[in-house]
């Protein structure tokens, strides 16, 4: 099943907005000096940014290759996302979906790379921390709060995952984190795949329209 991003591609491809092979830096990651106990509740101010961070890259795949995403740590050039190609026999596909991703209806697998060359230098990775939060408490396990290093993120069903879609999901989880300030149960309204799909579509369309504006293309 195509992602929302892939469905939007046909609308925006004439604008020249797709640059295969690019990587990009997500916005406004909180500083690594944040107290570890607060790592899962740091507000992300994406809407305050003047640029949009996720440059999509689409490549073809086959039955033996899975398209996933690597989230790089602060120590690996700053938190940013890049495409990750791996075999469908990769160890990540033997893991279970992380809890919050199941609650929002988009099961994701998250794993630290086994190869030291992919793991990168030791550093915090707050976006990975967000994905690992408990849907009830809003806190990530201690081992995912600091010193996380690079991580690989894949869909539980092995379907292709692009950087732009994952970026939208990460922002969605950041909005969920904000709701914990309103008390227990406030996050439950976000545990809805339909709401997530609408959020992803709006998020990606906004990014693509902004890039078109930067390139001097007329907006519809």
Q: Given pLDDT bands bounded at 50, 70 and 90, which one contains residue 215? A: confident
pLDDT at residue 120 in the model:
84
Task: Please give the Cα distance from 112 to 118 (Å, whole number).
Answer: 9
Q: 19-23, 45-49, 109-113: lowest mean pLDDT where? A: 45-49
Q: What is the mean pLDDT of residues 21-28?
A: 37
Which residue is listed with tokens 């992919």?
Answer: 118
Task: Please give the Cα distance from 52 to 215 (Å, whole number).
Answer: 13
* Helix 4-12, helix 193-214: angle, nearest 10: 30
| Distances from the Cα of 175 to the Cα of 8, 11, 43, 111, 151, angstroms | 23, 27, 8, 23, 21
Decide: 38 and 83 in contact? Cβ < 8 Å: no
pLDDT surpasses 50 at 36:
no
Domain limits, the chain: 4-214
72-105 pLDDT tens trace: 999 998 889 999 999 999 999 999 999 999 999 9
Between 118 and 114, the more confident residue is: 118
165-186 pLDDT tens trace: 999 999 999 999 999 988 868 8
């Amino acid at each position: 099943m195509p992602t929302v991003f892939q469905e939007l591609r046909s609308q925006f491809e004439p604008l020249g907005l797709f640059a295969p092979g690019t990587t990009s830096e997500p916005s406004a990651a909180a500083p690594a000096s944040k107290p570890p106990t607060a790592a899962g509740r740091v507000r992300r101010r994406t809407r305050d940014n003047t640029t949009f961070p996720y440059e999509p890259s689409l490549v073809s795949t086959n039955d033996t290759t899975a398209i996933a995403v690597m989230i790089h740590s602060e120590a690996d050039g700053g938190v940013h996302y890049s495409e990750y190609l791996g075999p469908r026999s990769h160890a990540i596909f033997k893991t279970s979906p992380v809890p919050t991703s199941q609650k929002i209806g988009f099961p994701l697998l998250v794993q630290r790379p086994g190869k030291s060359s992919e793991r990168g230098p030791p550093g915090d990775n707050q976006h990975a921390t967000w994905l690992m939060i408990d849907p009830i408490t809003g806190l990530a396990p201690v081992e995912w709060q600091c010193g996380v290093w690079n991580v690989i993120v894949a869909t539980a069903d092995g379907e292709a995952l692009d950087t732009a879609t994952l970026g939208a999901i990460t922002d969605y989880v950041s909005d969920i984190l904000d709701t914990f300030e309103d008390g227990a149960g406030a996050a439950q309204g976000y545990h809805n795949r339909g709401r997530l799909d609408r959020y992803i579509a709006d998020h990606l369309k906004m990014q693509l329209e902004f890039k078109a504006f930067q390139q001097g293309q007329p907006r519809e």
